Structure 1
Amino acid sequence: MADTHSPTTGVLEGFFGRSWSWEQRLRLAAFMHKEDFDFYLYAPKSDAHLRNRWRQDWPADQWQALKNLRHTYHSAGIAFGLGLSPLDLCTPEGKADTKAFKEKITRINQLEPDWLGLFFDDMRGDIPDLAARQAELSHFATTHSSAQRIILCPTYYSTDPVLDKVFGARPSNYLPQLGRELDPAIQVFWSGPQVCSATYPLEHLQEITHLLQRKPFLWDNYPVNDGAVKSQHLYLSPPEASRFENQQHIEGIAANPMNQFALSLPALAGLAQGIKCRAPATIDTLLKKLFSQPLAELLRQDAPFFANHGLNELDENERQRLLQRYRPHLEKEEAAREVTDWLNGGYTFDPACLTE
C-alpha cells in the first residue's frame, strides 16, 4: 500500500505540441495503477474544446473517447479529471458570460470526473481585478461541478520573471489576494521558483504557502519537453531525490510528461517510487523494468547525451549512427520508434509554448 503520509501524486497531460493517442492514454492507466499513482488529469494543449473553443462541445467520437478514458481510470482505481481553460472569462467583456461556463461544467459533469482543473495559465495577466475574477470563477465552478476536487492554476504560477515578460507584469498582490479570496478547499498549482524548476527549496515553499494560505500543489515540469529548447532533448532519468525532499510542505505533485509517451515512463515511474517509497530509483533499474534488455542498454548509454546535448549538437553522421542503433528494435519497441521519430524531426516545437 502507498504511504498515506505521501503527497497526492499523479500525471497531468498538459503539454503543447504533438499529443498522445487515445490508446496511449488508456495504457497509461494500467501503468499508473502498477506504480501506485493517485490521479490523472487530461489537459492537453491540443484539445481546443478545453481551451480557445471551450464553449463548443466535443465531437461525438472525442466525447466517446473521453468516456472510455474516464471508465478506464476509474476501473484502475485512479482519480480522473480534466483541466478547463476558459481564459476569456477573466476579461471585463467575459464577466457577463457565465451561461456558457455553467453549460460546459454541466457537460463535463456527465463524465463523472473526480477532479476539475481551472487553468488560467498562458493568458494575459494585465487584467483588472484578475485575482478576484479567478476566485469568483473558481467558486462558481465549485457550486456547479460534481467533481470532488477543484484545483486552480494561476496565471502567474511561478516567481519566474519569464511569465511577466510573456504575459505582462503581474498585478501587485496577485498571489496574496488570490489566497485570501479563494475558498480554502480549492487547491492551487505552483511550478516553483521557475517554470521548469530544478528544485523546490524549503524557504520558497514556505513563502508560497504563506502567500496562498495553503500548501502549493506542484505542477512539476519534468520530464516535459515541449519548449523551444527542451524539445531538442529527451529526459529518461528519474527525478533527482533533492527535488522532493520537502514533500511534507506540498499538497501534492502532478508530473507533466514528454510528448513521447513510452519514453516518459521511466521518469514517471521514478517519481512515483521517490514519492511513495521515499527511495530514489536508478535509471538502469527503471529502463530494465520497462523495456527489453537490449533496448534498455541502448537507452542507458544514450540517455546522458539525449538529456544534456540533444538534437542541436548532432551532426548528420552522428544522427545516422543513432538511427542505425535503434533500427533493429523498431518493429517491437514503441520507445525505439519514438527515439527514431525524434531524431527525424517528428516532434517539432510548437511556437504556442511561450514560457521557456
Structure 2
Amino acid sequence: MAETSDAQHPSQRSSPVLSDKSAGGGSADSASGGQQTGFICGVVEGFYGRPWTTEQRKDLFRKLKQWGMDSYIYAPKDDYKHRAYWRELYTVEEADHLTGLITAAHEQNINFYYALSPGLDITYSSSKEIAILKRKLDQVSQFGCKAFALLFDDIEPEMSKSDKEVFQSFAYAQVSVTNEIYNHLNCPRFLFCPTQYCSSRAVPTVKQSEYLNTLGSKLIQSIDIMWTGPKVISKLLTVECIQEITEVIKRPPVIWDNLHANDYDQKRVFLGPYSGRSPELIPLLRGVVTNPNCEFHANAIAIQTLAFWSKCSADTKISSSISSDIKLETENEEGICQEDAPAFLSENVYHPRLALKNAIANWLPEFYQEKEAWGPISKPQPALTSKCDQI
C-alpha cells in the first residue's frame, strides 16, 4: 500500500449517482455474527517486495505474543497468489506451508488474517468470478484460517462494461462482493481495505466521498474498514481526522499504519519509535496494524513501540517527532535527551523517546545470539504458468 506517493497515484473519479440497487448481501444495519471484540493490534505484511520467510513469520508470531499483540495479516503484494494470480488455488506443497503458518500463529494466540487482493482484474458482476473467489477462500479456511480480508487498495477505480450494467457505482460493486463473501464464510473476523483508503485519496473529500459514504451505509457493520489516515504515510493522526472518517464509514477504523514502511524507498530503513499518534486515539479506533520495513530484522523497534503505545491511555503532550536538530549537549551518557526521556513515567503514559530506549534495550541481546540463516536462499517465486479462469 505504501509503494507510491499520493502524487503518483492514478487519478480518482467521482462515482455515478447512487441508488439502492445491487448493494448485495444486506445493509450495514442487517449484520450479525463476526464475534469481533477487543482492540486489534499487530502487523500487516502488506508491502511491495520480497515477502518474509516462513521462519521469520514464525519468529514474528512468538514476538507478537511476547509483546502482548494479537494479530497478523498475510498480505504480501508480491505473493502471486495473493494478488496477481488470486484465482489460483494453492498446490499441495503450498497448502502444507500455509497450514503450518496458520497453526504456528494460533499456537501463539495470534489471529491470522488471510488477505486476498482481487481488485486488479475481477469482474464484480460475474457469478463465475464470485464462485472462484469463494473457492479460494474456502480452501484457505480448510487450512484452519478463521479470519479474512479483502483488499481493494492501489487499483484503478473503474468497472468493466458488464459491471456498469449491474452496479451503479464502484463502491456498490465492492460492497456486493464483500458482503456476499463475508456471509458465505459464516461471518468470521473480516477486514476490508477500500480503494480510497486515506483522506488524500478521498474524492472529492472524506465527508463528500460517495464511495466512502456507500461503504458506511451498505457494508455489513461487523466488517472492519482499514484506513491509513490523512495520507498514505501519515506523519500525524489526530482525534479530528479519526472522528471524521468514523462518521462517514459509520464504524471505528482499523489503522493500516505505514509510518515505518519503506517499500517506496528501500535505500532507507526506519528505526524510530511509534510516534505522532496519541494513545487518546485508542478508544476511537477498532485497532492498529503496522506495515513496517521490508527488512524483517529492522522492525523490532517499530513493532515493539506500537505494543507499548497500545497499552497506554495518555501521552506527555510533548512533540513525539525525533529530528536531527535535537541539541546534543542535553543528552545524557546513554544518548537520551533529558527533557525528551523522563526517568519515570506512569505505566499508562506513552513517551516515544522512552519507548525507543526500552525497545533498544530489549533488542540488543539478539545481536549476541548465534542463529542459523533464515532458511535457504532462493530466487523469488516465478510467475505461474497455468492459465487463470477468465470471463
Of 259, 263, 266, which residue of structure 2 is paired with 1:222?
259
Question: Where do 1:65-104 residues align within 5 Å?
Answer: 65-88=97-120, 91=123, 94=126, 97-104=129-136
The alpha-carbon distance between structure 1 residues 107 and 131, as it changes in their structure 2 partners (threshold 3 A), is same
- Scaled by the length of structure 1, the TM-score of the pair is 0.74
Q: Is 1:206–2:243 an aligned residue pair?
A: yes
Of 43, 46, 49, which residue of structure 2 is paired with 1:17?
49
Residues 225 and 234 of structure 1 are in contact (CA less than 8 Å); yes or no, is this contact kept in structure 2?
yes
The alpha-carbon distance between structure 1 residues 242 and 334, as it changes in their structure 2 partners (threshold 3 A), is farther
Of 280, 288, 294, which residue of structure 2 is paired with 1:245?
280
Residues 190 and 219 of structure 1 are in contact (CA less than 8 Å); yes or no, is this contact kept in structure 2?
yes
Residues 176 and 212 of structure 1 are in contact (CA less than 8 Å); yes or no, is this contact kept in structure 2?
yes
Residue 133 of structure 1 corresponds to 173
Superposed displacement of residue 96, structure 1: 5.0
Residues 199 and 243 of structure 1 are in contact (CA less than 8 Å); yes or no, is this contact kept in structure 2?
no
Residue 327 of structure 2 corresponds to none
Q: Distance in 1 between matches of 2:372 and 2:43?
A: 20
Bigger relative contact order, structure 1 or 2 (CA pairs below 8 A, ≥6 apart): 2
Residues 241 and 274 of structure 1 are in contact (CA less than 8 Å); yes or no, is this contact kept in structure 2?
no
User: Which amino acid in 1 is paired with 2:42?
Assistant: G
Residues 239 and 270 of structure 1 are in contact (CA less than 8 Å); yes or no, is this contact kept in structure 2?
yes
Residue 144 of structure 1 corresponds to 184
Q: Is 1:254–2:289 an aligned residue pair?
A: yes
Q: Distance in 2 between matches of 1:102 and 1:93?
A: 14
Of 99, 123, 140, which residue of structure 2 is paired with 1:108?
140
**3-state SS, counterpart of residue 156 of structure 1:** coil
Q: Distance in 1 between matches of 2:278 and 2:193?
A: 21
Q: Is 1:291–2:364 an aligned residue pair?
A: yes
Residue 233 of structure 2 corresponds to 196
Q: Is 1:123–2:155 an aligned residue pair?
A: yes
Q: Distance in 2 between matches of 1:97 and 1:254?
A: 30
User: Which amino acid in 1 is paired with 2:238?
Assistant: P
Q: Distance in 1 between matches of 2:360 and 2:372?
A: 13
Superposed displacement of residue 95, structure 1: 6.0
Superposed displacement of residue 241, structure 1: 5.6
**3-state SS, counterpart of residue 298 of structure 2:** helix
Residues 198 and 243 of structure 1 are in contact (CA less than 8 Å); yes or no, is this contact kept in structure 2?
no
Residues 225 and 258 of structure 1 are in contact (CA less than 8 Å); yes or no, is this contact kept in structure 2?
yes
Q: Distance in 2 between matches of 1:30 and 1:245?
A: 28
User: Which amino acid in 2 is paired with 1:133?
Assistant: A
Superposed displacement of residue 91, structure 1: 4.1
Q: Is 1:159–2:199 an aligned residue pair?
A: yes
Residues 223 and 267 of structure 1 are in contact (CA less than 8 Å); yes or no, is this contact kept in structure 2?
yes
Deviation string 1:146-173 (CA, Å, 9 cap, x unpaired) is: 5621110001100124x87xxxxxx951
Residues 61 and 108 of structure 2 are in contact (CA less than 8 Å); yes or no, is this contact kept in structure 1?
yes
Superposed displacement of residue 117, structure 1: 0.5
Of 273, 292, 309, which residue of structure 1 is paired with 2:308?
273
Deviation string 1:2-54 (CA, Å, 9 cap, x unpaired) is: xxx97321111100012211110011111000001011111111111111111
Let me know the Cα RMSD of the aligned residues.
Answer: 2.7
Residues 106 and 144 of structure 1 are in contact (CA less than 8 Å); yes or no, is this contact kept in structure 2?
no
Superposed displacement of residue 334, structure 1: 9.2
User: Which amino acid in 1 is paired with 2:180?
Assistant: F
**3-state SS, counterpart of residue 51 of structure 1:** coil
Residues 58 and 104 of structure 2 are in contact (CA less than 8 Å); yes or no, is this contact kept in structure 1?
yes
- The structure in which a higher percent of residues are helix is 1
Residues 124 and 174 of structure 2 are in contact (CA less than 8 Å); yes or no, is this contact kept in structure 1?
no
Q: Distance in 1 between matches of 2:46 and 2:197?
A: 14
Q: Is 1:282–2:361 an aligned residue pair?
A: no
Which shifted more, 203-212 or 270-279? 270-279
**3-state SS, counterpart of residue 292 of structure 1:** helix
Superposed displacement of residue 111, structure 1: 2.0
Q: Distance in 1 between matches of 2:44 and 2:187?
A: 17
Residue 354 of structure 1 corresponds to none
Superposition misfits of 4+ residues, deviation over 6 angstroms: none
User: Which amino acid in 2 is paired with 1:37?
Assistant: M
Q: Distance in 2 between matches of 1:243 and 1:198?
A: 12
User: Which amino acid in 1 is paired with 2:150?
Assistant: L
Deviation string 1:186-242 (CA, Å, 9 cap, x unpaired) is: 1100000000111111111111011101111111112111013xx221111211163
Where do 5+ consecutive residues of structure 1 fail to align? 165-170, 296-328, 338-356
Residue 37 of structure 1 corresponds to 69
Count of aligned positions = 289
User: Which amino acid in 2 is paired with 1:292?
Assistant: P
Q: Distance in 2 between matches of 1:100 and 1:275?
A: 38
Larger Rg: 2
